[in-house]
Structure 1
Amino acid sequence: MKTRELGKNGFDVSEVGLGCWQIGGNWGNEIDKKNAFEILNEAIENGVTFFDTADVYGDGRSETLIGEFIKDKGSNIKIATKFGRGANVFPDQYTEKALRDSVEVSCRRLNVEAIDLLQLHCIPSEALLKGDIFNWLRTLKKEGKICHFGASIESVEQGLICLEQEDLQSLQVIYNIFRQKLTSALLPQAKEKGVGIIVRLPLASGLLTGKFNKDTQFLENDHRNFNRDGDAFNVGETFAGLPFEVGVKLSDQLKSYCPDGFSMVDMALRWILDHEAVSTIIPGASSHKHIHNNAAASNLPPLSDELMAELKAFYDNHVHQHIRGVY
């Protein structure tokens, strides 16, 4: 596993990290403690050193499981968590006290003295523009409660707002072959500012595995069922904002672009890593069996310039018009 630096004067992260939303178990099939530990352990054995979670994932269950797991694993693992969607603060009840309380609770769950990276969790643009919350984060950093702060965002506009904060460490973004706008609209600006890029939904909620068909069914409590049209939260968080049936057809078309010896997952993850502004990608995993295949992308050869151009044209000509939601 190769590593990259997360932002200017930041810390090293594995090129492939682990998204821990599913470990929280509040959507889809619940992952019990034994299986959660198997996933986390398999990640470490495959060189993963960066876990991404949030206070609201399973109402704190994801943080708690990670905290129990890392007690005897040393300090090499870096953990990012989030604030902004829980504790009844969304969308306009943000206070310094609520932030402090959330950080204290997250530290207890994670069994840490300070949080490696605290990210604002897709909070409204109005709160980002107001800017008070960044000053509260700076105070917490000075006090040693957090080591770095960043923001998980939903749109280019929000990313550009956050980049005005000179001490911002990272942006977490939705970025994949089906969602390429950021290539020119945000990544160069982040690189110029020395801000790290964390990529969530690298496989577009599984569309880019190539394993779904139009008849694929998801559990009632799976966001790929209840949020496929944005009924619960930003539609971009599910299938990259594509209508499911359209996404399946596009995924089938993409299969012919895979280089010899590459799976769809290989190509999708390698495509992201071939953008040097990216620091790490955080695919989720519902089983430890997924970890090895995801981690292997770090050591795959780069995609050819010709293929990168073809995938850009594929997005421009066939995908972009179908994307829904803020972007």
Structure 2
Amino acid sequence: MRKRELGKSGLQVSAIGLGCMGLSYGYGPATDISEAIALIRRAFERGVTFFDTAEAYGPYKNEELLGEALAPFREEVVIATKFGFNFDANGGQSGMNSRPEQIRAVADQALKRLKTDVIDLFYQHRVDTDVPIEDVAGTVKALIAEGKVRHLGLSEAGAQTIRRAHTVQPVAALQSEYSLWWREPEQEILPTLEELGIGFVPFSPLGKGFLTGAISETTTFDSKDFRNIVPRFSQEARKANQVLVDLLAEIATRKKATSAQVALAWLLAQKRWIVPIPGTTKLHRLEENIQAAEVELTAEDFASIESALATIKVEGDRYPRPSAGKGQSLRSGQTGSDVSFEHQKKCSRSRLRSLLHQSHHFLGVGAFSRKAGIASSFATISAILGHCVKSNPKRLALIACGKRKISAILGRSPTTKAPCLRPAIIVSTAPMPSPIQ
């Protein structure tokens, strides 16, 4: 398989990698270990040199699997893993944690599980706003100097977070969702990566299987498959989104390819530094995905896709919306770098500023009425924070705090009156992935 360089990092990998999460986690029962090892080794035989895992997948089991499978040819492959979470006694995620001591501990443990002496690409799995990204990048920089890590990566980070990390330690790659049914990275992320010379590694490039054409409105999932709770995989959404699958099938017929191959070929054609990592538990799907690297789309194909997509509205959020009560902290890996839920009596200027400038997923900023307890005066506060707000009806982030604090944070005065406010309540209802990819 042809190779690609992740940005300007010097890190050369196969044009298509292998996302290994589904072998251990997220899509139902784990694959039999011997079968999983056989699939990973078959991928290597077919030219795949880029393998993606994380401590969160299992947790830990996926790293152990990959370490065993790749041991015979470790020097010929690139292994990417991730840090950033705490886990309870039952293996459940119990909050984000990117403190320097945690990063170091995860690195040491991952090296043992992966049976290697160096991690090729070490991603922060999700941005932890309790820890300045400069501290995270600095810790990984130190690990690189010590020879334990080769490159720093980020996942689902906003443009400003990427820039801040990159000034401390060059970021080799960003891993975020990107596919024909999730194109948000095109707005701000791809231009930022191109400017800085950072590679892009799309996860779920086949829409968690939907773009293959193998899933319909009548498909049922295993009880442990997280797609059961994903709005985009509701029966109604699948029925509505079938039009996108039909489009791929039509183009695939013309190209004598499959829908999955067209979807991957489309991604590969976007930028030469994009390396998708489709996952699978089936050998025939592995072969199908690998062959996508040989599919070339014409200008006519691209025009057909763009024209059709302009008329298609993808239904359903890509992740379920979390809920949490007052005073409760519910933290997981939602997109962007905003926290999931946090209630505080006091919130420092620096913390609010950090939240605003790190995230590219804010829709609006609202104020909570002391009496009604509902969001109000969106236009007023959004105008104050306009440069931090992105219009996206799929997400909502509310920051409620006193008018004086907002103006102090931004160095300007509000132009209109705001309602009586509770001081410093931050709430984000951004979609939360479950599991973390």
TM bucket, shorter chain: 0.7 to 0.9
Question: Could you tell me how far 1:144 is from its partner in structure 2?
Answer: 1.5
Other structure's SS at 1:22 match? helix
In structure 2, the residue matched to 1:38 is 38
Answering whether residue 85 of structure 2 is matched by residue 69 of structure 1, we say: no
In the alignment, the residues of structure 2 paired with residue 42 and residue 130 of structure 1 have an alpha-carbon distance, to the nearest angstrom, of 37
TM-score by length of 1: 0.87
Q: What is the aligned-residue identity percentage?
A: 29
Would the aligned equivalents of 1:83 and 1:120 in 2 still touch at CA under 8 Å? yes
Would the aligned equivalents of 1:24 and 1:60 in 2 still touch at CA under 8 Å? no
In the alignment, the residues of structure 2 paired with residue 161 and residue 202 of structure 1 have an alpha-carbon distance, to the nearest angstrom, of 23
In the alignment, the residues of structure 1 paired with residue 208 and residue 147 of structure 2 have an alpha-carbon distance, to the nearest angstrom, of 35
Would the aligned equivalents of 2:179 and 2:205 in 1 still touch at CA under 8 Å? yes
Other structure's SS at 2:202 match? strand
1:109-124 matches, within 5 Å, as 109-124=113-128
* Closer, same or farther: CA 138–52 of 1 in aligned 2, 3 Å: same
1:85-124 matches, within 5 Å, as 85-87=85-87, 91=95, 93-124=97-128
In structure 2, the residue matched to 1:285 is 280
In the alignment, the residues of structure 1 paired with residue 97 and residue 205 of structure 2 have an alpha-carbon distance, to the nearest angstrom, of 31
TM-score by length of 2: 0.66
Answering whether residue 291 of structure 2 is matched by residue 312 of structure 1, we say: no
In the alignment, the residues of structure 1 paired with residue 75 and residue 132 of structure 2 have an alpha-carbon distance, to the nearest angstrom, of 35
Could you give the per-residue CA deviations for residues 110-143 of structure 1, whole angstroms, max 9, x where no partner exists?
011111000011234x357653212211121122
1:1-327 matches, within 5 Å, as 1-25=1-25, 27-87=27-87, 91=95, 93-124=97-128, 126-127=129-130, 130-153=133-156, 158-166=158-166, 167-225=170-228, 227-229=229-231, 243-258=237-252, 259-301=254-296, 303-319=297-313
In the alignment, the residues of structure 2 paired with residue 101 and residue 309 of structure 1 have an alpha-carbon distance, to the nearest angstrom, of 49
Gaps of 5+ in 1: 230-237
* Closer, same or farther: CA 43–130 of 1 in aligned 2, 3 Å: closer
Gaps of 5+ in 2: 320-334, 336-360, 362-437
Question: Could you tell me how far 1:52 is from its partner in structure 2?
Answer: 0.2
In the alignment, the residues of structure 2 paired with residue 95 and residue 27 of structure 1 have an alpha-carbon distance, to the nearest angstrom, of 30
Mean CA deviation greater in 179-188 or 281-290:
179-188
Other structure's SS at 2:150 match? coil
Would the aligned equivalents of 1:84 and 1:90 in 2 still touch at CA under 8 Å? no
Mean CA deviation greater in 250-259 or 164-173:
250-259
Question: Could you tell me how far 1:190 is from its partner in structure 2?
Answer: 0.6
In structure 2, what residue type is equivalent to 1:16?
Answer: I
In structure 2, what residue type is equivalent to 1:260?
Answer: K
In structure 2, what residue type is equivalent to 1:216?
Answer: T
In structure 1, the residue matched to 2:376 is none
Question: Could you tell me how far 1:26 is from its partner in structure 2?
Answer: 5.3
In structure 2, what residue type is equivalent to 1:73?
Answer: F
* Closer, same or farther: CA 212–190 of 1 in aligned 2, 3 Å: same
Other structure's SS at 2:171 match? coil
User: What is the number of residues matched between the two proteins?
Assistant: 311
Would the aligned equivalents of 1:178 and 1:315 in 2 still touch at CA under 8 Å? no
Other structure's SS at 1:164 match? helix
Other structure's SS at 1:116 match? strand
In structure 1, the residue matched to 2:379 is none
In the alignment, the residues of structure 1 paired with residue 318 and residue 230 of structure 2 have an alpha-carbon distance, to the nearest angstrom, of 11
In the alignment, the residues of structure 2 paired with residue 293 and residue 188 of structure 1 have an alpha-carbon distance, to the nearest angstrom, of 30
* Closer, same or farther: CA 260–96 of 1 in aligned 2, 3 Å: closer
Would the aligned equivalents of 1:56 and 1:85 in 2 still touch at CA under 8 Å? yes
* Closer, same or farther: CA 265–27 of 1 in aligned 2, 3 Å: closer
Other structure's SS at 1:173 match? strand
In structure 2, what residue type is equivalent to 1:115?
Answer: I
Would the aligned equivalents of 1:96 and 1:136 in 2 still touch at CA under 8 Å? yes
In the alignment, the residues of structure 2 paired with residue 308 and residue 37 of structure 1 have an alpha-carbon distance, to the nearest angstrom, of 37
Question: Could you tell me how far 1:269 is from its partner in structure 2?
Answer: 0.6
Would the aligned equivalents of 1:228 and 1:243 in 2 still touch at CA under 8 Å? no
Would the aligned equivalents of 1:187 and 1:277 in 2 still touch at CA under 8 Å? no
* Closer, same or farther: CA 312–90 of 1 in aligned 2, 3 Å: farther
Question: Could you tell me how far 1:253 is from its partner in structure 2?
Answer: 4.1
Other structure's SS at 2:139 match? helix
Could you give the per-residue CA deviations for residues 140-191 of structure 1, whole angstroms, max 9, x where no partner exists?
11221211011111x6xx2442133321111012111111232343213212
Could you give the per-residue CA deviations for residues 229-278 of structure 1, whole angstroms, max 9, x where no partner exists?
3xxxxxxxx76xx9333333432344223333121011101000001254
In structure 1, what residue type is equivalent to 2:175?
Answer: Q
Would the aligned equivalents of 1:207 and 1:247 in 2 still touch at CA under 8 Å? no
* Closer, same or farther: CA 248–305 of 1 in aligned 2, 3 Å: same
Mean CA deviation greater in 67-76 or 126-135:
126-135
Higher RCO structure, 1 or 2 (CA under 8 Å, sep 6+): 1
